[in-house]
Amino acid sequence: MSQAPPTSKVARRQHDREIVSLALPAFGALVAEPLFLMVDSAIVGHLGTPQLAGLAIAAALLSTAVSVFVFLAYATTAAVARRVGAGDLPAAIRQGMDGIWLALLLGAAVVALTLPAAPWLVDVFGASDTAAPHAVTYLRISSLGIPAMLVVLAATGVLRGLQDTRTPLYVAIGGFAANGALNLGLVYGAGLGVAGSAWGTVVAQCGMAAAYLTVVVRGARHHGASLRPDAAGIRASARAGVPLLVRTLSLRAVLMIATAVAARLGDAEVAAHQIILSLWSLMAFALDAIAIAGQAIIGRYLGADDPRGAQQVCRRMVQWGVVSGVVLGVLLVLARPLFVPLFTGDTVVRDTLFPALLVVAVSQPIAGVVFVLDGVLMGAGDGPYLAGAMLLTLAVFAPVALLIPAFGGGLTAVWWAMALMMTVRMLTLWLRARSGRWIVTGATR
């Protein structure tokens, strides 16, 4: 950590209140998002196995397409928060509108590519002859909602930068409720089957985007900010997003390699791996909520030309990350007898699962530091360093993971490799935070 002066108890309490006020609603919004797919799966699952298999393939493709562009939220949060800190709300909202216009352009490009390529994409995923038609139908219809989802990402970044994480929570809850009602009505009431599920999701996503745009446009008009697309601003948003795109792709490559290695170990291993990965992702939501608070708070302090405040809140958030990681790790071990039977009754899978799960529990404090510092550096607009650090981490992880089958390692070894990956990330992020080079004050970096 950079050499920040000691923080008083009063300042720590102030930081704590601010972190909690931003992190709790952010956590709720993060958890609500995966519920879209769960609702779709539950409803479509009653239509038949081919329909559910088709949904699974299409959903995997769609989630990848959307998650690749998560930088729209991250980069927009940091840029908007800086301008908020500098006291220039019109410029903050103008910056947010640039991110939203970029989201619309990227969304249109993805739709143009996905519609004709849908059969080929489904075939690459190895869909069976019975599942493929359902996957293509769901993918083509649902791709129409991608521009709306990218607008949601960018607009979420705008509101986070404005220090508002409650509105995204309310919109996520509303979207989840609408998605469930529309799916039931269109799949069963209208008898549209898989297509009905896809259309229900698209309508819900467009409704969420409309809700966000209403809030942002109202703020723009109130503060006299222009809503027109600005080519220079859109290009600046894209440039800020490229390093974060590299970071995200590198992280997804890590997860794909881990899953591929687990699949080579056997059915029991890959089944256990999927269970652990689901739990790991759930715990990541809790830690990511703190990181989101970090993005918003750090950006605001740096925009306000307050490096001391940024250092102090960085130190406090790392403490939050460590404590949260310890709590999550302990809960994972203690609750193991309760949740494992919900996933599987296979004793072989359980036996494979338990030792690897302990590795995940032990590494959660490390994950807590990683998520927090990741958020701090994103809030500081330190994207190029994050990209380089993640590429280095991938370069260390990939050979270690790929050699596991050759040396007779099992699933526990895979998750030790994941723990190594998180440790490398922690070291690279901690060194950057300690150097203080991320501290660049002003309305722009």
- Residue 117, C-beta contacts closer than 8 angstroms, at least 6 positions apart: none
φ, ψ for residue 58, nearest 5 deg: -65, -40
Tally of CB atoms within 10 A around 334 = 10
The Cα–Cα gap between 255 and 384 comes to 21
- Residue 192, C-beta contacts closer than 8 angstroms, at least 6 positions apart: 186, 199
- The lowest-confidence range among 144-148, 285-289, 384-388 is 285-289
Which residue matches tokens 């490390």?
366
Q: Shortest CA distance to 276 belongs to which of 334, 344, 347, 323?
A: 344
Which residue matches tokens 């993005």?
295
The Cα–Cα gap between 260 and 414 comes to 10
Kindly report the pTM of this predicted structure.
0.87
**Lookup: tokens for 289:** 């909520």
Q: Shortest CA distance to 36 belongs to which of 51, 58, 16?
A: 58
At residue 62, the pLDDT reads 84
Supply the mean pLDDT for the chain: 89
* Comparison of pLDDT for 51 and 432, the residue scoring more: 432
Q: Shortest CA distance to 173 belongs to which of 163, 181, 164, 162?
A: 181
Whether the pLDDT of residue 37 is over 60: the answer is yes
Cα distances (angstroms) measured from residue 42 to each of 51, 52, 185, 375: 11, 9, 14, 34
**Lookup: tokens for 252:** 């997804």
